[in-house]
Structure 1
């Protein structure tokens, strides 16, 4: 499956906070698909926390990190925006903008401490918000008699194929979504199960969201 058919992003917009040596680090994250959306989010958060010491940011737009940008916003060069961007890329997150707001607490962290603080702020926020896998899937539509529905339903559940919609008429019209590499096998299995008495129609293609249950994002 190509990178364009599957990618990771945050589950939803959200924020989290860490206190590190009396400094407050507030991390705000949003799903963004264009540079304009990213800039609008950065401006919104910077305005919300206009009294903060720093509003640093990073974003990655596009499924191949086509457009990336980062800013230290007054922190020593390379200690804020870069580690934030690297944290996003290490977790293989796409189409995400992060703003890390710092309220200075009076204790200097040093370059190494700042890098760790900003990187950890992003990682902590992602763990709190959650990650989803967006998968480009093909809709497959077919009909089965009522007396065969339980068998088909059992097959689909056994193979972790979610029924997106069912329509009840003369028979049962079933809508499922499949990854590109699952289509032929599923069609063959259902054809065999129903002794050839089934016809398939392709519906729409769309990105569906699948929760990622663990934090090993780089292994997805």
Structure 2
């Protein structure tokens, strides 16, 4: 895979169904151990709740996925929660939904809807980003060529990391791996080979809160 979605910053969301409170707590995780520690921490925080159901997916291809109904009727909590994570195309994330029972039974369908809705609410209050495999490039040009290069970069999906002005102009960018060759060729042809291009390493990166993140 060359791109996938992750939760960069977790959050919480709460819904109320027939006086039962459902509190979803979302957290990014990279290993099963991290997920289990987060689940245990959340259970301790909400120690007085009737249920603390969970679901998590780990791996670039979701190689590991687990869920638990934690005492709710089988298939009414953990599986619907996991389905929301998978349905949103998320990776490396864990969610715990805490239920404070309100005295009214919701029935099988009502529980499925409530747990699913709680996870969606938790995700809505989290920061989800797209992590992609990119290539680093440094482009060196004279001042006459910078306008043309900036135009090419601007209409591509490249991310400008920085620009330095000295006796020449240096532009550092990140470009998605599948788009690298086409951009490289376009810059060479547009500048008649006058621009010097330094190709860096491949890296996983993303944009969060307007900032470039390199993993």
- Do Structure 1 and Structure 2 share a fold, with TM-score over 0.5? yes
Aligned length: 208
Q: Return the structure number with greater strand share.
A: 2
Deviations 1:21-71 (A, max 9, x none): 111111000111111111111111111111111111010111121111111
Pairing 1:129–2:126 present: yes
1:109 to 106, 109, 131: 106
SS in 2 for 1:29: strand
| Cα distance in structure 2, aligned partners of 1:145 and 1:6 | 34
For residues 61-120 of structure 1, the C-alpha deviation after alignment (integer angstroms, 9 at most, x for no partner) is 111211111111111111111111111111111111000011111111011111111111
Please name the residue that 1:165 is paired with: 162
Which of 50, 60, 72 is the equivalent residue of 1:53? Answer: 50
* 1:63-74 map, 5 Å: 63-74=60-71
CA RMSD of aligned residues (A): 1.5
More helix by share: 1
Deviation of 1:166 (Å)? 2.0
**How far apart in 1 are the matches of 2:51 and 2:100?**
7
The residue number in structure 2 matching 1:189 is 186
Q: Quote the offset at 1:155 in angstroms.
A: 2.0
Query: Residues of 2 paired with 1:85 and 1:197: CA distance?
Result: 53
Alpha-carbon distance in 2 for matches of 1:199, 1:33: 38
Which 5+ residue runs of structure 1 have no aligned equivalent?
212-220
Displacement, 1:147?
2.8
Q: How many angstroms does 1:173 deviate by?
A: 1.6
Q: Indicate the SS of the match to 2:158.
A: coil
1:86 aligned onto 2:78: no
Moved beyond 4 Å, runs of 4+: none
Task: Report how far residue 130 of structure 1 moved.
Answer: 4.2
Asked if residue 23 in structure 1 is aligned to residue 20 in structure 2, the reply is yes
- Structure 2 unaligned spans of 5+: 209-215
2:73: which partner in 1? 76
The 5 Å alignment of 1:134-213 reads 134-210=131-207
Q: Distance in 2 between matches of 1:42 and 1:181?
A: 38
Q: Deviations over 1:150-195 (max 9, x none)?
A: 2222221122422112233321121111112111111111112212
Residue in 1 that maps onto 2:34 = 37
TM-score (norm 1): 0.89
Note if contact 1:135-1:210 (Cα within 8 Å) is conserved in structure 2.
Answer: no
Secondary structure of the residue aligned to 1:152 is: helix
Distance across 2 between alignment mates of 1:47 and 1:200:
54
